[in-house]
């Protein structure tokens, strides 16, 4: 990619320059890769105004046309998939093989959105079930809310934008998007493709700049009808507190766990656990952070896990053989090193890793970790995993549930009763039986409980969040 390419804001179908710019730095090389506009308050105002003006066009657009735009986007993105993956790798330091997977998933997400656009249906309501309702026929419609304010994180810069733009277009809403400051290039790229795909001017506006300024302006703007936010719990909670009467969808963080029951063939699942813990440097909302292993399997599990972890290759995200690269910025690396130090001071032992090679934090396994330590009870968002033993299943389930978060949890067991019992008792948005929690495909309902958020994504479910249910009653009396 061209060094120091100067990007523009997308407002009302035009690429607009602004007063202030900031340098975008590659997390891996530390080099400047682009100049990114910092939207002024007037820019944000214009973006919302454009979204407001496009509302009627989008709301009246027939479903087949909304689907058609998304289908065209799928074609364009498929053609440019490798370029898209390189953008993600460069701005997010996501290993290129993982970035390619993100692009394929993004294509899937927009495909699901195109399909979902054609089946936004209501239902008939039997009003005569209530005394006094005789002679009336009722049905429901789903109408677009109006303007969707979308605020997205750095870790899946293309697919998590797709989880907001896709259902918003499918439902006939307009959008003001603020991508994460570290990863705006992926969002601009999709903006270009959507214009080419025939999206009307003003239906998608992209404003960049810091979350605390630009994100906050979007959150407070009364013309916006829904804030759909994916990011960290503190920011999400702040948004919810400031959003007033707007609808708010929050997809937040987690310290996801898996339970490994007695009798499991660990050879079959150890590779998945290692990949769940260290993929994209652990910067995944459902990254595997805590592993609870039955005491009978504990020693062999540790031995095999360490063996597999040591095989991981650290390096440049653009090198196809790289498994683990740099964290998103050096502040994050410093934070994580401090958490590792706190863990050691609190009695935890480093089984492998724990230090930095160049800009890359080594995949780190910690044992004997007290649950009150940050590496266990907070979201670590780094290539760190804790492995502890348990004696009874009740104990293991309690350890998983002893968390402020509740996004997804996994349990490996051969016992159907144990599986069903865990499915009932684990307090999370999704339970995975015989899998790690780090599993997501893009049509499944996805979201958390507790500080992991509220509302669900996965196109069909986001469609519900992004539409208003309207009731129509015919009186035939
Ligand atoms: P973040 O720091 O919370 O930022 C997310 C977005 O919010 C960014 O665009 C950020 O802008 C913006 N923002 C920051 N302060 C804001 C404010 N006061 N008002 C409005 N917007 C504001 O999160 P991140 O570090 O990018 O992403 C990592 C987090 O996302 C982790 O906690 C992870 O678990 C979570 N996540 C959750 C899911 C899920 O589906 N549940 C998926 C992926 C990630 P700037 O970039 O300019 O600060």
Distances 151 to 52, 164, 207, 211, 218 between C-alpha atoms, Å: 18, 9, 10, 8, 9
Residue owning the nearest CA to atom 8 of ligand 1: 180
How many whole angstroms separate alpha carbon 369 and alpha carbon 182?
32
Ligand 1 atom closest to the Cα of residue 328 is: 25
How many angstroms separate the alpha carbon of residue 179 from the centre of ligand 1?
9
Backbone φ, ψ for residue 409 (5° rounding): -140, 155
Ligand 1 atom closest to the Cα of residue 153 is: 26
Tokens of 132: 């006094």
Examine the residue annotation and report whether 251 is marked as an active-site residue of this protein: yes
Sequential pLDDT tens for the chain (477 residues) = 445 799 999 999 999 999 999 999 999 999 999 999 999 999 999 999 999 999 999 999 999 999 999 999 999 999 999 999 999 999 999 999 999 999 999 999 999 999 999 999 999 999 999 999 999 999 999 999 999 999 999 999 999 999 999 999 999 999 999 999 999 999 999 999 999 999 999 999 999 999 999 999 999 999 999 999 999 999 999 999 999 999 999 999 999 999 999 999 999 999 999 999 999 999 999 999 999 999 999 999 999 999 999 999 999 999 999 999 999 999 999 999 999 999 999 999 999 999 999 899 999 999 999 999 999 999 999 999 999 999 999 999 999 999 999 999 999 999 999 999 999 999 999 999 999 999 999 999 999 999 999 999 999 999 999 999 999 999 999
Backbone φ, ψ for residue 50 (5° rounding): -65, -40
Q: What is the pLDDT of residue 450?
A: 98
How many whole angstroms separate alpha carbon 209 and alpha carbon 193?
22
- Count other C-beta atoms under 10 Å from residue 109's C-beta: 28
How many whole angstroms separate alpha carbon 41 and alpha carbon 177?
14
How many angstroms separate the alpha carbon of residue 307 from the centre of ligand 1?
34
How many whole angstroms separate alpha carbon 204 and alpha carbon 12?
8
Nearest CA to 186 out of 251, 250, 103 is that of: 103
Question: Please, which residues have CB within 8 angstroms of residue 268's CB and are 6 or more apart in sequence?
Answer: none
Catalytic residue among 71, 86, 216, 251: 251
State if pTM tops 0.95: yes
Find out whether 176 and 52 touch, Cβ atoms under 8 Å.
Answer: no
How many angstroms separate the alpha carbon of residue 230 from the centre of ligand 1?
6
Q: Is 250 left (phi over 0), alpha (psi -120 to 50) or beta?
A: beta
Q: What is the pLDDT of residue 3?
A: 53
How many whole angstroms separate alpha carbon 460 and alpha carbon 116?
6
Q: What is the pLDDT of residue 2?
A: 47
Examine the residue annotation and report whether 341 is marked as an active-site residue of this protein: no
For the chain, where do the domains classified as CATH 3.40.309.10 start and end?
Answer: 257-441
Nearest CA to 307 out of 299, 317, 297 is that of: 299
How many whole angstroms separate alpha carbon 81 and alpha carbon 87?
10
Q: What is the pLDDT of residue 4?
A: 72
How many whole angstroms separate alpha carbon 428 and alpha carbon 256?
9
Residue owning the nearest CA to atom 46 of ligand 1: 180
Fold of the CATH domain 257-441: Aldehyde Dehydrogenase; Chain A, domain 2 (3.40.309)
Pick the CATH number of 5-252+452-473 from 2.120.10.30, 3.30.2350.10, 3.40.605.10, 3.30.70.100: 3.40.605.10
How many angstroms separate the alpha carbon of residue 322 from the centre of ligand 1?
26
**N-term to C-term CA, the chain:** 69
For the chain, where do the domains classified as CATH 3.40.605.10 start and end?
Answer: 5-252+452-473
Ligand 1 atom closest to the Cα of residue 163 is: 40
Best mutation site among 183, 211, 285, 439 for ligand 1 pocket (most ligand atoms within 8 Å of CB) = 211
Nearest CA to 432 out of 297, 276, 306, 210 is that of: 276
Nearest CA to 325 out of 337, 313, 336 is that of: 313
Find out whether 114 and 74 touch, Cβ atoms under 8 Å.
Answer: yes
């Amino acid at each position: 990619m061209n060094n120091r390419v100067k990007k523009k804001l997308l407002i009302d179908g035009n690429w607009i320059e602004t007063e202030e710019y900031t340098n975008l730095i590659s997390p891996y090389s530390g080099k400047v890769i682009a100049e990114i506009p910092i939207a002024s308050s007037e820019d944000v105002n214009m973006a919302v105004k454009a979204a407001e003006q496009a509302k009627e066009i989008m709301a009246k657009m027939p479903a087949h046309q909304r689907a058609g735009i998304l289908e065209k986007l799928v074609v364009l993105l498929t053609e440019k998939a490798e370029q898209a993956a390189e953008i993600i790798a460069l701005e997010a330091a996501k290993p290129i093989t993982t970035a390619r997977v993100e692009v394929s998933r993004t294509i899937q997400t927009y495909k699901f959105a195109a399909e979902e656009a054609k089946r936004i249906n209501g239902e008939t309501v039997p009003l005569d079930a209530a005394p006094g309702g005789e002679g009336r026929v009722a049905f429901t419609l789903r109408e677009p809310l109006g303007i969707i304010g979308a605020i997205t994180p750095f870790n899946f810069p293309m697919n998590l934008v797709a989880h907001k733009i896709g259902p918003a277009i499918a439902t006939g809403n307009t959008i003001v998007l603020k991508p994460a400051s570290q990863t705006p290039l992926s969002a601009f790229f999709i903006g270009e493709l959507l214009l080419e795909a025939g999206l009307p001017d003003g239906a998608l506006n992209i404003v960049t700049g810091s979350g605390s300024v630009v994100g906050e302006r979007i959150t407070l703007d009364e013309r916006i009808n829904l804030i759909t936010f994916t990011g960290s719990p503190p920011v999400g909670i702040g948004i919810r507190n400031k959003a007033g009467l707007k609808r708010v969808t929050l997809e937040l963080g987690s310290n996801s766990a898996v339970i490994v029951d007695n009798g499991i063939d660990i050879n079959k699942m150890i590779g998945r656990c290692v990949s769940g813990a260290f993929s994209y440097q652990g910067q995944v909302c459902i990254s595997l952070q805590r592993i609870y292993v039955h005491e009978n399997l504990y020693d062999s599990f540790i031995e095999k896990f360490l063996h597999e972890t040591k095989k991981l290759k650290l390096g440049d995200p653009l090198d196809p053989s790289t498994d683990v690269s740099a964290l998103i910025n050096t502040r994050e690396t410093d934070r994580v090193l401090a958490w590792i130090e706190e863990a050691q001071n609190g009695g935890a032992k480093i089984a492998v890793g724990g230090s930095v090679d160049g800009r890359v934090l080594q995949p780190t396994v910690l044992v004997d970790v007290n649950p009150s330590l940050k590496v266990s009870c907070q979201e670590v968002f780094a290539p760190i995993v804790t492995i502890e033993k348990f004696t009874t299943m009740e104990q293991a389930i309690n350890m998983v549930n002893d968390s402020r978060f509740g996004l997804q949890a996994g349990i490996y067991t051969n016992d159907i009763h144990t599986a069903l019992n865990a499915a009932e008792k684990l307090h999370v948005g999704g339970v995975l039986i015989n899998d790690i929690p780090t599993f997501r495909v893009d049509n499944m309902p996805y979201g958390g409980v507790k500080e992991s958020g509220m509302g669900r994504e996965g196109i069909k479910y986001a469609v519900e969040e992004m539409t208003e249910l309207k009731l129509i009653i015919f009186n035939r009396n």
